[in-house]
Amino acid sequence: MSRLEQLISEFCPNGVDYVHLWEVTIWDKRFNSVDRKKQKQIITYPYLLASNLFNLEQPTGNVFLLSTGEKTGWTNEKLAGNYLCQGEVVAIPWGKSRPLKEVIKYYKGKFVTTDNRIATSNDTDKLLNKYLYYCMINQGETIDKFYRGSGIKHPNMNDVLNVIIPLPPLPIQEEIVRILDKFAELTAELTAELTARKQQYEYYRDELLTSGDNIQWTPLEIIGRVAMCKRIMKSQTKSCGNIPFYKIGTFGKKPDAFISNELFNEYKEKYSFPKPGSILISAAGTIGRTVIYDGNPAYYQDSNIVWLEHDESDVLNKYLYYCYQLKPWNISNGGTISRLYNDNILKAKIPIPYPEDKEKSLAEQQRIVDILDRFDRLCSDISEGLPAEIEARQKQYEYYRDKLLTFKKKEAAENE
């Protein structure tokens, strides 16, 4: 019998209570959609705009930057100033475009936050905050459904607070946290090794692309022109169908909008459309993110997802793909949102080897592409190496997390 099974046998052989989040947590503000009796207490935290949070970032510090995305960092108390917070918290973003499991955070200590919705246990003798964190991750797909809107989505907090979690006795929570922390630690070690490998890859990529005496930095306007798909109106899309329509929020991810075959075929024939192998570029959102168009039927949001239209007589598309990773863009700021305009793309310069000898240049480009393809597979291919091991470890972790957080309900047990 495992330690956890022994604890369950000792403390709750007949099952455990299940409770709503509002019964056991305190949040950072009163929500309009939530009955006041469900929020008898709040703890407010001053927050910075997301665009300002990382202006505080320092190489070292003891104050955590609690962002709404995957990126995190550190600062110091002096820079944090009046935005300095402290506590043991679980944070979910007020606005997000990614699954909750990728952006939910647990932290204990001093921090500065942007616009998160922050929860903490209302009694740590009954509910551990780290256990709450694992419960909310386990309910991540359910909570994702409570986020509404297109692009950046916001949660219905009444639905979030009504989520039900198991509440076993404290010794059982502690053991579950210990087991899941161990899983997380092992995955973090592999992820750190993969990060180091990617940093090594980036160093050699930059060396391959930019070193040598036969390099000429050439603006993209010499190579081709910026192209984009014809605008699609929201009324022309639907929630399901055969032809995916990728917006900036779903670029490189699973689409949530589709267009008809008839509209796709009409627009593909009459207007600009990427050729297989074209490098699609995000001009908003995650600036400069690239995806290689694989030729499968799909449509892309005009002006937000663009590509350089050219005939590959001077530069191979796959070579362009790796040059774009050098982030050659001079990004303009439009209001509070950064944007990559056509002129930014056309004025961007990339390194072209042996510019005076086209045949030799294309051969050298292909040689560099072949080397970087091998590096990229080692770092990114989910079917081999560390990425595959991390994926397997993550699936194992999710399986056991679900098992560890599933209990017999006390009410059902008492009625047996």
Among 272, 268, 360, 278, CA closest to 321: 278
Q: In three state form, how does the secondary structure of 8-27 look?
A: HHHHCCCCEEEEEHHHHEEE
Among the listed ranges 153-157, 197-201, 328-332, which one has the minimum average pLDDT value?
328-332
Sign of CA dihedral 393, 395, 398, 402: negative
Q: Taking a C-beta distance cutoff of 8 angstroms, is the pair 287, 340 a contact?
A: yes
Q: Tokens 């998160």 appear where?
A: 116
Can you tell me whether residue 28 is helix, strand or coil? Answer: coil
Q: Tokens 């679980």 appear where?
A: 90
Rounded CA separation 289/310 (Å): 19
Whether residue 336 has pLDDT greater than 80: no
Q: How many helices (H) and strands (E) does the chain have?
A: 15, 21
Non-local (6+) Cβ contacts of 16 within 8 A are: 166, 167, 168, 169, 172, 407, 408, 409, 410
Average pLDDT, the chain: 91
Rounded CA separation 318/336 (Å): 33
Mean pLDDT of 105-130: 97
For the entire predicted model, the pTM comes to 0.66
Whether residue 213 has pLDDT greater than 60: yes
Q: Taking a C-beta distance cutoff of 8 angstroms, is the pair 158, 115 a contact?
A: no
Sign of CA dihedral 77, 79, 81, 83: negative
Provide the pLDDT for residue 116. 97
Mean pLDDT of 276-300: 94
Provide the pLDDT for residue 306. 97
Whether residue 335 has pLDDT greater than 80: no
Q: What is the pLDDT of residues 52-94, one digit of tens each?
A: 999 999 999 999 999 999 889 999 999 999 999 999 999 999 9
Mean pLDDT of 36-55: 94
- Per the DSSP assignment, residues forming a β-bridge with 332 are 339
Helix (H) or strand (E) holding 145: none
For 310-385, list the strands marked E by DSSP. Answer: 332-334, 337-339, 349-353
Sign of CA dihedral 398, 400, 405, 410: positive
